[in-house]
């Protein structure tokens, strides 16, 4: 919820920003009035994903932990290479963003096997649907006039799955 809340608040407080037509990365661009707060959001979310990956590593969905760790590291990379600085930096940013997209979509799919093995077949199916939907929205964002809306939908699906999985893991741990 850190990431979704971050881009929602940063986008809502920048009057000329269009969440439908502009990418999330525009919020952290070199020329953005929201650059530093969004930088903190990217890094905080990235660090939390890396930490959370360790909980996944010790769970029944352990096959998903590398995707969570890679996602966190990729989001830190997105923050460290803000767009609109140079072609070289923009390319590094794009590579990090692509890795973040692929890993957030892969996370629920990789968890499906562990869910099936533990008797949670419907959760496994929902996880696969979430992963496929996430990557389809994210892929359709490229070159689309509604890049922001499609990107937020795809990333939001993956982020929501991650949030729900985290809550479930915490509840099981405390039970």
Q: Which pLDDT score, from 0 to 100, does residue 175 have?
A: 57
For residue 171 the two structure tokens come to: 């509840």
Mean pLDDT, the chain, integer? 93
pLDDT in tens, 57-92: 999 999 999 999 999 999 999 999 999 999 999 999
Q: Contact, 111 vs 61, CB < 8 A?
A: yes
Half-sphere exposure of 24 (CA within 13 A, CB side): 31
Contact 49, 162 (CB under 8 A): yes
More confident residue, 105 or 171: 105
Give residue 37's pLDDT band: very low, low, confident or very high (50, 70, 90). Answer: very high
| Confidence at 4, pLDDT banded by 50, 70, 90 | confident
Cα–Cα distances (Å) from 75 to 96, 104, 118, 159, in that order, read 7, 10, 31, 13
The pTM score is: 0.93
């Amino acid at each position: 919820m850190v990431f979704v809340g971050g881009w929602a608040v940063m986008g809502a407080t920048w009057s000329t920003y269009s969440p439908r037509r502009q990418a999330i990365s525009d919020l952290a661009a070199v020329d953005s009035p929201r650059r530093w707060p969004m930088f903190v959001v990217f890094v905080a979310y990235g660090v939390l994903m890396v930490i959370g990956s360790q909980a996944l590593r010790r769970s029944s969905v352990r096959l998903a932990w590398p995707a969570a760790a890679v996602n966190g590291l990729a989001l830190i990379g997105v923050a460290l290479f803000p767009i609109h600085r140079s072609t070289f930096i923009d390319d590094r940013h794009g590579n990090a963003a692509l890795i973040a997209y692929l890993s957030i979509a892969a996370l629920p799919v990789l968890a499906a096997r562990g869910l099936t093995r533990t008797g949670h077949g419907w959760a496994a199916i929902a996880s696969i649907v979430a992963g496929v939907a996430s990557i389809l929205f994210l892929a359709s964002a490229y070159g689309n006039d509604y890049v922001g809306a499609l990107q937020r939908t795809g990333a939001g699906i993956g982020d929501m799955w991650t949030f729900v999985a985290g809550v479930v893991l915490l509840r099981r741990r405390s039970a």
